[in-house]
Amino acid sequence: MPMTITEKILAAHTGRDSVHPGEIIMADVDLALGNDITAPIAINILRENGIEKVFDRNKIVLVPDHFTPNKDIASAEQCRQMREFAHDYDITHYFELGEMGIEHALLPEKGLVLPGDLVIGADSHTCTYGALGAFSMGVGSTDLAGAMISGKVWFKVPTAMKFVFTGELKPWVGGKDLILFTIGKIGVDGALYRSMEFTGDTIINLGMADRLAMCNMAIEAGAKNGIITPDTITEEYARQRASREYRFYDSDPEAGYDEIHEFDASAIELQVAFPHLPENTRPVGESGNVPIDQVVIGSCTNGRLEDLQQAAEVLKGRKISSGLRLIVIPATPLIYRQAMDEGLFDIFLDAGAVISTPTCGPCLGGHMGVLADGERAVATTNRNFVGAHGPSRERGLSVGPRRGRSERGDWSHFLA
């Protein structure tokens, strides 16, 4: 039976030769992830039911990244709850300040997620890891609790959509532009509970940072997962980080897809998503003159070293406009140190930016850059829902870090 890469991974984790779309399965989990918002609920379930042992202490990852450094007493209590649970249950992979990074940047960086894995996380952007050729999806805290106890998760096998990108990208256009363009075409429910498989020579030539950005935002189209067939770039990335075996899967030529979309990537311009949905996309050059109050460069979508390097290239020798706030958030401690060692911090500081420790922070309206009512932000984050950066009715415009070029359209007010 011909299968997609997603179906092959799922079949392997059920101990079967094949699975088919729509089938309800119970699958083995290679990794279960929780953060400081979602993990405490799962932890309560284990403690309240007298569960004294997790299925595998090496296959659970706890990362307090959303409200850390703790923004208030309530967030500090949640992190303490995670810390105590990690100690009491002898969890191997617990990352706090000094080691803590934004979870979906941290796990691939440390080699905790590898090709062929099945990963669940109590966070919707767990789909990021499809960039490595893994099946990864977001779940609720109760499903996380069940997986922490049993090492298994149940769900329905998704149908699949294929997105074929061909052609050489324009200067500055990257993975974030490709996924914003795609969501703009199919809508925020265009891939509802389906697998989004990205392929074509454009994808083959993308670096890992751009692949991670694309798969990260599959959920913004309603997808169950986003995935890219692993190749030499995947092998180079994984080999440097892996401490265990991994496996490459690919889709059979005869595999079935609900839809196949083909795009000429050479014609795709820099993209920006206007409020209040990620599907409200348009080329930056057609965006007009929109006054903004703040720019955020970071998040699990675009807080990697490559993103900061591109932002520094834009900002070098320039100053941000008077009255504009610029916040730079490296996604992990390693990225923070690399950016500092490369002199990127000097460029950001000279331009008038502030640099944060790794945190999700303003992405979810948490802290480190929440907007006042009526303010507008441009952000490299993945969502531009109402209130996601705080109480503002306007919310932010979602862009990639490379979209601040002063000569593009009418966006020159970003820089003095």
| Domains annotated on the chain, with CATH | 5-263 (3.30.499.10), 272-414 (3.30.499.10)
* Tally: H helices and E strands in the chain: 13, 18
Task: Look at residue 374 in the predicted model and tell me its pLDDT.
Answer: 85
pLDDT digits (tens, 9 = 90+) for 65-87: 999 999 999 999 999 999 999 99
Average pLDDT along the chain: 92
Pairwise pLDDT comparison (392 vs 99), residue with the higher score: 99
DSSP state for residue 386 in the 8-state scheme: T
Q: Residue 401 — very low, low, confident or very high, per pLDDT cuts 50/70/90? A: very low
Instruction: Say which residue, 330 or 286, is predicted with more confidence.
Output: 330
Instruction: Look up residue 273 and give its two tokens.
Output: 């998503």
Q: What is the pLDDT of residue 140?
A: 96
> Lowest-pLDDT range, 294-298, 359-363, 400-404?
400-404
CB 11 within 8 A of CB 17: yes
Percentage of the chain lying above the pLDDT 90 cut: 83
Can you tell me the distance from the alpha carbon of 371 to that of 381, in angstroms, rounded to the nearest whole number? 14
Which phi and psi angles does 163 have, rounded to 5°? Answer: -120, 115
R_g of the chain, CA atoms, integer Å:
20
Calculate mean pLDDT across residues 211-232. 97
CA 270, CA 178: separation in Å to the nearest integer? 9
Q: What's the token pair of residue 246?
A: 């991994």
- Residues 323-343 pLDDT 10s: 999 999 999 999 999 999 999
